[in-house]
Structure 1
């Protein structure tokens, strides 16, 4: 009987303030969608770190005629210098750190360059002798880059030792920045949702002040009087959270796990299954914010 009464009062309040309830649903949906997008970005960053860090390479670039570093004082790398670098990479000293390596000639470097920049006008102006020879080194442990750098970087004929993780860290930093921006926008929208929930509850309490007065006179408990108002805010926020959860899942399943995976098959992407872990987080945020906002509003505007 009490449950039926509480649900009836809740539905009555929703009908009376339908436009405000719809506003709460939409604002909660938009704000939690930004939270979901930020969560997806973090999941993707973690996925890419695990995927790319295992495949990270160290590039040992050899001297060319135009190199200006101290180790290239004699000009382009000689055959003896190249063999010395190769011998070091094959030696027992480097064995604990070097998983494998591959020599890249200037001609091969030009082919890679032309493939990477095939839509750029600079392709026509770059020749093979302008690009350095290199050894592409796969590490046993990518965290041991500094050891390999120390072993090779001071050798004659070596111009530069480059770690791909430096570029990856820049990419991940940009993605983290995008995640922070999404969270910031979500925070502003959540504040709007909280204010809307408070306004909705306040209007609902005002429109039903006569009923609540009668309930107080007949001895209804504080919980019995306040619970319908509390449920109004929670239900509206939950509907918004459900829509945000669905949007987050569709984004992960169709865009990230579908289209992006097809476009970039060599990269590890998250999918809809990974996004499911964000659903309880979004629902929990919605319930918590709605409950706290409703309780504070009821304490101020509904004296029992």
Structure 2
């Protein structure tokens, strides 16, 4: 009997306040969608880090005949200097950091340059003798590239030491700032959602103050009076979570995987599975905000 009464009150409340319910749904959709994008941005940054850091190398470029670096003042690298560099790369002190070492000759560097810039006029103006020899070092932990870099920087026979981490660190710093911006925007919209839900519930309670007064007179508990209002807001939030989840999955499937991943193939991207794993969190956040906002709003505005 009580359950049926609560259901009837919810139906009546939603029918009477359809405009308010729709506004709660819409603001919930926007706020939860932005929250989902924040989660997705976090996953994307982690995915890009896994992709790129597994491919990071430290490149030790050796002095050539035309090198102008201070460490190349004595001319091109000698065989003895090469042997010492190779020995240091294989030394026990660097074994915890070095996974594998490749030596790239001038001809190999030239062939790779020609392949990379085959459609550019640059490839026609470079000879094999102009290309530097180098050691390419794969790391066990790419984030520790400075340990290897510091050992060989400014060493006689070494023109320069470069690591892709120097570029990647700046890239991921930018991505982290964008991710933080997405989270801040999501937080603002969630705050708007909380305020709207609380205001909607207060107005609903005010328009039905006569019914709640009668319920209080016949001995209904505070929780029993509040329950229909709380459930109304949670139903609206659940509808908003469904729509926000659908929008997040659609964006991931059609925009990220369907367009972005096909046009920009330099890294991996999040997929529908990542979006689906975020969906439960959207429901938890949406229902939690709606329920708590309604409960706190009713503590003050449902007194009769």
Q: Give the alignment of 1:289-300 within 5 angstroms.
A: 289-300=289-300
| Residue matched to 1:103 | 104
- Deviation (angstroms), 1:140: 3.8
Superposed, which structure 2 residues align to 1:193-208 within 5 Å? 193-208=193-208
Alignment of 1:1-304 (within 5 A): 1-63=1-63, 67-75=67-75, 77-78=76-77, 80=79, 83-84=82-83, 87-88=86-87, 91=90, 97-103=98-104, 105=106, 107-108=110-111, 110-111=113-114, 114=117, 127=126, 132-265=132-265, 267-303=267-303
Structure 2: which 5+ runs fail to align? none
* Structure-1 separation of matches of 2:202 and 2:237: 16
CA contact (8 A) 1:85 1:155 kept: no
1:81–1:157 CA contact under 8 A, matched in 2: no
Shift of 1:266: 5.5
TM-score, normalised to structure 2, is 0.85
Structure 1 runs (4+) deviating above 6 angstroms are none
In structure 2, C-alpha distance between the alignment counterparts of 1:269 and 1:254, rounded to whole Å: 13
Q: Could you tell me whether the CA contact under 8 Å between 1:257 and 1:271 is conserved in 2?
A: yes
* Counterparts in 2 of 1:158 and 1:194: CA distance versus 1, 3 Å: same
Q: Is the 8 A contact 1:48 1:269 kept in 2?
A: yes
1:40/1:22 CA distance change after superposition, 3 Å: same
- The C-alpha deviation readout for 1:124-159, integer Å capped at 9, x for no partner, is 997568765433322244345334324432432312
Q: Distance in 1 between matches of 2:275 and 2:189?
A: 21
Q: Which moved more, 1:221-230 or 1:81-90?
A: 81-90
Q: Is the 8 A contact 1:238 1:283 kept in 2?
A: yes
Q: Is the 8 A contact 1:103 1:134 kept in 2?
A: yes
- Deviation sequence 1:159-185 (CA, Å, 0-9, x none): 221121222222111111111111111
Q: Is the 8 A contact 1:233 1:294 kept in 2?
A: yes
User: Alignment partner of 2:159: what SS?
Assistant: strand
The Cα RMSD (Å) is 2.9
Q: Distance in 2 between matches of 1:65 and 1:24?
A: 72
- Higher mean alpha-carbon deviation, 236-245 vs 106-115, is at 106-115
Distance apart, 1:103 and its partner CA: 0.9
1:55 is paired with a residue whose SS is coil
> In the aligned structure 2, how far is the partner of 1:138 from the partner of 1:249?
37
CA contact (8 A) 1:25 1:240 kept: yes
Deviates more, 1:12-21 or 1:249-258: 249-258
Shift of 1:272: 1.0
Does the residue aligned with 1:303 lie in a helix, a strand or coil?
coil
Conservation of the 8 A alpha-carbon contact between 1:104 and 1:133: yes
| Helix, strand or coil at the partner of 2:15 | helix
**In 2, Cα distance between equivalents of 1:85 and 1:111:** 30
Offset at residue 49 of structure 1 (A): 1.8
Q: State the aligned residue count.
A: 299
